[in-house]
Amino acid sequence: MPLVYELKNVKYKKSTIPLSDGFLQKITPLLSDASARQGTPKEIFVRINKGLRKENEGKIAAITSKSTPSILWKGAFSQLSNSKVEANFADERTYTYNNETIDTAYHLGYDLSVTKHYPVEAANSGTVAFAGDLGIYGNAVILDHGLGLFTLYGHLSSIDVKVGDPIKQRQIIGKTGETGLAAGDHLHYGVYLNGVAILPVEWWDQKWINDNIEPKLEGKSGEAIAESQQSKAPRKSAHKRRRR
């Protein structure tokens, strides 16, 4: 059915990340092929950041393109308790080595940090679609929330669930860590819809869900949704009469 959408001129954050020899040595084992681990630090990082990242994103797309045909979640999704947002969705990252720019990437989720090995809670109810090693995302869990909606939890130090497990909202599924392409202990949290990474923060907002998701689930048309939103919007005050 036709849907109403609005394109916004959003400016995403840009950051520069210097790479150390110690970090490059830590992530080199992410390449399973021994021959791929040969070369300069720059070449090895590009293979991980470009080649392995593309492979991992393809696997995520395959997992998140097949979903339970019924809704498994209810209400707003939960941000990791006590967490601080360290990186946002669609941030542009430039990686440098010895003051030379060697690669770039876009961040497809939120980085959330609390304390080391902090218990990771499921953002909403669902079932475990994936649990295991996911390359640059390290130890990861992907939850299927039904109707094409998934959440991803990456860089875990431990995983406490297995594929097929039913999950309740805020159930502990593992602990934060720095596995994969992570420089420090944190949670990479991503949201996917039919295989496409989408902005996570909206799903933390019950009002946004009420205005943008529930009407569609009820079968309302895009025009009806737009009219309803316009009727709820505060009216502008009438212009004051001009003085004579």
pLDDT digits (tens, 9 = 90+) for 3-35: 777 888 888 889 899 999 999 999 999 998 888
What is the pLDDT at residue 233?
A: 63
Query: pTM to 2 decimals?
Result: 0.87
What is the pLDDT at residue 163?
A: 98
Sign of CA dihedral 152, 139, 58, 55: positive
Both tokens assigned to 41? 């630090």
- The β-bridge partners of 117 are none
What is the pLDDT at residue 1?
A: 65
Please give the torsion angle defined by the CA atoms of residues 139, 204, 122 and 119, in that order, rounded to the nearest 10 degrees.
70
In DSSP notation, 47-82 reads IIIIIIHHHHHHHHHHHTTS--SS----SPPPPPTT
Give the C-alpha separation, 2 to 56, whole Å.
Answer: 32
Give the C-alpha separation, 38 to 171, whole Å.
Answer: 42
pLDDT tens digits, 159-186: 999 999 999 999 999 999 999 999 899 9
Banded pLDDT at 139 (limits 50, 70, 90) = very high
Give the C-alpha separation, 54 to 52, whole Å.
Answer: 5
Residue 17 Rama label (left phi>0; alpha psi -120 to 50; beta): beta
Q: Which domains does the chain have, with CATH numbers?
A: 14-215 (2.70.70.10)
Both tokens assigned to 45? 């990082």
Give the C-alpha separation, 26 to 24, whole Å.
Answer: 5
Give the C-alpha separation, 226 to 231, whole Å.
Answer: 9
What is the pLDDT at residue 6?
A: 82
- Residue 118: C-alpha distances to residues 111, 127, 167, 175 (Å): 13, 22, 18, 5
Sheet bearing 14-18, strands edge to edge? 14-18, 92-97, 100-106
- Residue 120: C-alpha distances to residues 21, 83, 100, 152 (Å): 30, 10, 36, 11
